[in-house]
Structure 1
Amino acid sequence: MAIIKPYKGIHPKIDQTVFVAENAVIIGDVEIGKDSSIWYNVVIRGDVNYIRIGERTNIQDGTIIHVDHKRYPTIIGNNVTVGHKVMLHACTIEDYCLIGMSATVMDGVIVGKYSIVAAGALVTPGKVIEPYSLWAGVPAKFVRKLTEEEIAWLEKSAENYVKYKNSYLEEGLG
């Protein structure tokens, strides 16, 4: 059973349609919207600020999500794919984004809708990623605008993870 605990009297609010893996940890002022999925070894710690995760968003294995004390919460929109071992700290990820495996997105960053942060990228504090952009590297830099095919793929990725989480729930795994 997942570890879901209050912090200072604030309980996480998780829609009943969300898949939460048995070894995920969700603490404090966290809200997760319908049809989202929180996979294995994920830690979501809303202790000194709040975390909001939208609908149909998937947070994949080994990801850590935290906040900055009072200055920045973490807000993740709808239909977002967060890859394996990502670090999201006190940032905003708008709708239909993909954050690649092992990427780090730091304090005050805003990732605009329909954008991709490449695997292994480090988005340094305060960067603003314009919508429909690909950013990569350490530190991350603008690479190019997304193609129509990539934009369509971002929508498909979110849909696929709703199917995956439904199959896990049907198997009694959540």
Structure 2
Amino acid sequence: MEPPIVYYPRSEYIETDTGNKVSRKSVICGSQNIILGGKTIIQTDCVIRGDLRRTGGGHAVVVAIGRYCLLARGSIIRPPYKTYKGIFSYYPMKIGDHVTIGEGSIVEAATIGSFVHIGKNCVIGRFAIIKDCCRIEDNTVIPPNTVVPSFSIYEGSPGVFVDELPECVQDLYESRTKDYYAKFQPKD
């Protein structure tokens, strides 16, 4: 099925030199600590917390998002945190290429691989690791520290393995994210 063309008000989005389209109605804190790979769409009411980082020296990149990613309306991206030996610290988060994060989802994962689809209203717990080529169904809660293996479908609360994805899923997700980006057009 061919995805429809999605029109957005040109004045509502900022387009960067690398083709990222970021809604002015999103909340992006600590933008100097966030890296967008290019051709990523951040829709209205998204929150990305790049300001939550370790104090002192060290790693400045808090959230790294790959190419051709889609953060749908109302999604929240914040780095994972924990207290270790009495010291509270945030840790960096890496999101791969061709990742879709659905409306209203909250992500605190350590790593999300490439070619991943996260459905609507999902909660991805702290330090979860989602490997390449996975699908998280709508309304799924992935508990903290869970490792979701490649080519798997998780569903439920708490999220459990329900099925496998075919090996061609990488090509499907890549073409889907590129098509969505190409059809996300400004209206004049």
TM over 0.5, shorter chain: yes
Q: After superposition, what is the alpha-carbon deviation per residue over 1:35-56, rounded to whole angstroms, capped at 9, x for unaligned?
A: 1110011010111231111111
Q: Does 1:55 align with 2:55?
A: no
| SS, match of residue 63 in structure 2 | strand
Conserved 8 A contact 2:151-2:167: no
Aligned to 2:8: none
CA distance in 2, matches of 1:155, 1:33: 15
Q: Which of 24, 37, 43 does residue 26 from structure 2 map onto?
A: 24
Q: Which of 37, 40, 43 does residue 44 from structure 2 map onto?
A: 40
Aligned to 1:146: 165
CA distance in 2, matches of 1:141, 1:47: 32
Q: Any gaps of 5 or more consecutive residues in structure 1?
A: 5-13
Aligned to 1:67: 79
Q: Any gaps of 5 or more consecutive residues in structure 2?
A: 1-10, 54-61, 82-88
What's the % identity of the aligned pairs? Answer: 26
| SS, match of residue 33 in structure 1 | strand
Larger RCO (CA under 8 A, 6+ residues apart): 2
Q: Letter of the aligned partner of 1:89 in structure 2?
A: E
CA distance in 2, matches of 1:71, 1:77: 20
Conserved 8 A contact 1:108-1:127: yes
Aligned to 1:117: 136
Q: Which has the larger radius of gyration?
A: 2
Q: After superposition, what is the alpha-carbon deviation per residue over 1:69-115, rounded to whole angstroms, capped at 9, x for unaligned?
A: 43532211111111111100143110010000111101111111010
When normalised by structure 2's length, the TM-score is 0.77
| SS, match of residue 38 in structure 2 | coil
CA distance in 2, matches of 1:140, 1:91: 17
Q: After superposition, what is the alpha-carbon deviation per residue over 1:134-170, rounded to whole angstroms, capped at 9, x for unaligned?
A: 00000000112113565543223211222133x13xx
Q: After superposition, what is the alpha-carbon deviation per residue over 1:4-26, rounded to whole angstroms, capped at 9, x for unaligned?
A: 9xxxxxxxxx6541001120111
Q: Letter of the aligned partner of 1:18 in structure 2?
A: N
RMSD of aligned alpha carbons: 2.2
When normalised by structure 1's length, the TM-score is 0.83
CA distance in 2, matches of 1:25, 1:140: 28
CA distance in 1, matches of 2:180, 2:29: 23
Q: Letter of the aligned partner of 1:23 in structure 2?
A: K
